[in-house]
Amino acid sequence: MKLLTANFLTCAVKGCKAAASSYPLHFKDAELELQEIDFQPEFIHNIIPRIDWEGLRVMANELGFPKIPDLKPEGDALNDEQTMRDLHRVLLETHVMEGRLCCGNCGHEYMIKEGIANFLLPSHLV
Amino acid sequence: MLPTPCTAHVPFDTIYEPAEDSYLFLDTLSSASETAWLTQHFAAPNPSPTILEVGSGSGVVLAFLVAHSPTILGRADVLSLATDLNRTACLATRETTTTPTTNASNPAAAPASHSPSPRANPAIKSTHLASVQSNLAAACKPGSIDILLFNPPYVPTDAVPRAPTAADFDADPQSRSEQFERESYLLSLTYAGGRDGMEITERLLADLPRVLSPRGVGYVLLCAQNRPREVVERIRGWTEGLESEGEGTTRRRWCAEMAGFSGTKAGWEKLVIVRVWREDL
């Protein structure tokens, strides 16, 4: 799963839906893999408006990525090739293959195996 | 006719094999009327649309829309997500959506008759975010999905099978009978819809106002026993998710329309695909 996926996911537990701390989920023991693809600045431009920037920054900090701008790039910043290349690497080329995604509200951990995150709940949480 | 994605790698012992309903989805999405509607609805320079297929199975529907998004949506810059209860289906969908779709890769599915040679997909590549093992859209953040596709388990049955839990996929079956039981169970999840065939579909419909973005649109397949006309009327009366959107006092409403159908029996369509979305009043 691409790192960017975490921007679209939340805890599957019903009681967590209304809790702000159920998003973003937090990666634990993440094993990352780089899968290189062509750099497509116009794609990055069109993805940026869809991204929850605070969620992305939290995730990137936790995983030790140094180069995420504090604010969502707009205007001239979108033409800065190095920034776009850094984002391309984080958003589209970086995959999580193994590890866990942890809810900040209920503490439940979702396992990631071979890049597939398992959001099925144990029977006591369904 | 646009080429169908290749599903030769998919193990169909626990995954729904593409059938009449799947192909109705492909035909509906690529019909002239739907293509025109979607292209206008998602016209650039709006942000990249995020596409989710719920219960993606082989992944053929999602892969079709992604591969042909320049034709169907008028843009190639899409992100895709898939969910399925079955881990094997998640793996299969990932492969189907990340394998290039061409006539050559799947000669059986692409009759040469009037197919124009497929336009080379513009540069954008590798847009599949992830396949996630999840019950319907439970793992998706509110407002995160722009296009949702759902070919549900719609066959009326006495009851719906229990939903699998995380533990169901921990151990491999030990005996042939265990394996047979497991395969039958996983296959039953692909078709058994409970009362009126609507129990699972109702759950997904109830989640649409939460998971769709303000511009989001859902496509849901129904069969005649699901009483699609009543479903359409009911959706038009929804009031959830209409407040606190847009600026000022823009008032919105839920819309539902039959976007495609196949086979008529005594004046009733056998299968119907309903498009669900919100628009400004």
With residue B270 as reference, give the H or E element that holds it.
strand B268-280
Residue B276, domain CATH: 3.40.50.150
Task: With beta carbons under 8 A apart, name residues in chain B contacting A2.
Answer: 128-130
Q: What is the mean pLDDT of residues B154-180?
A: 89
Respond yes or no on whether ipTM tops 0.90: yes
Give me the number of domains chain B comprises: 1
In a domain, B86, yes or no: yes
Respond yes or no on whether the N-terminal peptide bond of residue A24 is cis (omega within 30° of 0).
yes
What span, in angstroms and rounded, lies between the C-alpha atoms of B55 and B11? 16
At A19, is the secondary structure helix, strand, or coil? coil
CB A39 within 8 A of CB A88: yes
CB B15 within 8 A of CB B57: yes
Which residues, including other chains, have CB under 8 Å from residue B32's CB and lie 6 or more apart? none
With residue A52 as reference, give the H or E element that holds it.
none
CB B273 within 8 A of CB B21: no
B21-45 residue pLDDT tens: 999 999 999 999 999 999 999 997 8
Which pLDDT does position B266 carry in this prediction?
Answer: 66
Return the residue of A nearest to B81 by Cα. A5
Chain A nearest C-alpha distance from B24 (Å): 28
Handedness of CA A56, B130, A63, A25 (dihedral sign): positive
The proportion of chain B whose per-residue pLDDT surpasses 70, expressed as a percent, equals: 88
Contact A116 B164 (CB under 8 A): no
**Which residues does B contribute to its contact with A (CB < 8 Å)?**
44-45, 47-48, 50, 77, 79, 81, 83, 85, 87, 90-91, 94, 123-126, 128-135, 138-142, 144-145, 163-169, 210
In a domain, B196, yes or no: yes
Contact B167 A123 (CB under 8 A): yes
Which pLDDT does position B124 carry in this prediction?
Answer: 58
Q: Is the pLDDT of residue B121 over 70?
A: no
Q: Is the pLDDT of residue B108 over 70?
A: no
Which pLDDT does position B125 carry in this prediction?
Answer: 64
Q: Is the pLDDT of residue B118 over 60?
A: no
Task: With beta carbons under 8 A apart, name residues in chain B contacting A16.
Answer: none
Q: Is the pLDDT of residue B15 over 60?
A: yes
Task: With beta carbons under 8 A apart, name residues in chain A contacting B136.
Answer: none
Mean pLDDT over all residues of chain B?
Answer: 89
Q: Is the pLDDT of residue B104 over 70?
A: no
Residue B45 structural domain: 20-280
Q: Which backbone phi and psi does B228 adopt, to 5 degrees?
A: -55, -35
Q: What is the mean pLDDT of residues B110-121?
A: 39
Please choose, from the candidates B188, B212, B164, B176, the residue with its C-alpha nearest in 3D space to the C-alpha of residue B51. Answer: B212
Chain B nearest C-alpha distance from A118 (Å): 5
Which pLDDT does position A124 carry in this prediction?
Answer: 85
Contact A49 B94 (CB under 8 A): no
Q: What is the mean pLDDT of residues A97-117?
A: 97
Q: Is the pLDDT of residue B217 over 90?
A: yes
Contact map slice: A 29-68 vs B, CB within 8 A = 35, 37-38, 40, 42-43, 46-50, 52
**In chain A, where are the structural domains located?**
3-125
Please choose, from the candidates A98, A91, A119, A116, the residue with its C-alpha nearest in 3D space to the C-alpha of residue A25. Answer: A119
Task: With beta carbons under 8 A apart, name residues in chain B contacting A126.
Answer: 163, 165
With residue B211 as reference, give the H or E element that holds it.
helix B199-211
Q: Name the more confident of B116 and B70.
A: B70
Which pLDDT does position B112 carry in this prediction?
Answer: 38
The proportion of chain B whose per-residue pLDDT surpasses 90, expressed as a percent, equals: 77
Greatest Cα-to-Cα distance within chain A, rounded to the nearest angstrom: 51
CA distances from B148 to B34, B130, B268 (A): 14, 15, 25
Q: Is the pLDDT of residue A113 over 70?
A: yes
Return the residue of B nearest to A40 by Cα. B124
Which pLDDT does position B126 carry in this prediction?
Answer: 61
Q: Name the more confident of B96 and A124.
A: B96
**pLDDT band, very low/low/confident/very high, at B1 (cuts 50, 70, 90):** confident
Chain A nearest C-alpha distance from B256 (Å): 25
Q: Name the more confident of A71 and B120.
A: A71
Of the CA atoms within 13 Å of residue B35, those in its CB half-sphere come to 14
Please choose, from the candidates B7, B20, B122, the residue with its C-alpha nearest in 3D space to the C-alpha of residue B69. Answer: B122
Which pLDDT does position B226 carry in this prediction?
Answer: 96
Domain spanning A3-125, CATH class? mainly beta
B185-201 residue pLDDT tens: 999 999 999 999 999 99
Q: What is the mean pLDDT of residues A100-125?
A: 95
**pLDDT band, very low/low/confident/very high, at B103 (cuts 50, 70, 90):** low
Contact map slice: A 65-84 vs B, CB within 8 A = none
Task: With beta carbons under 8 A apart, name residues in chain B contacting A8.
Answer: 50, 81, 129, 140-141, 144-145
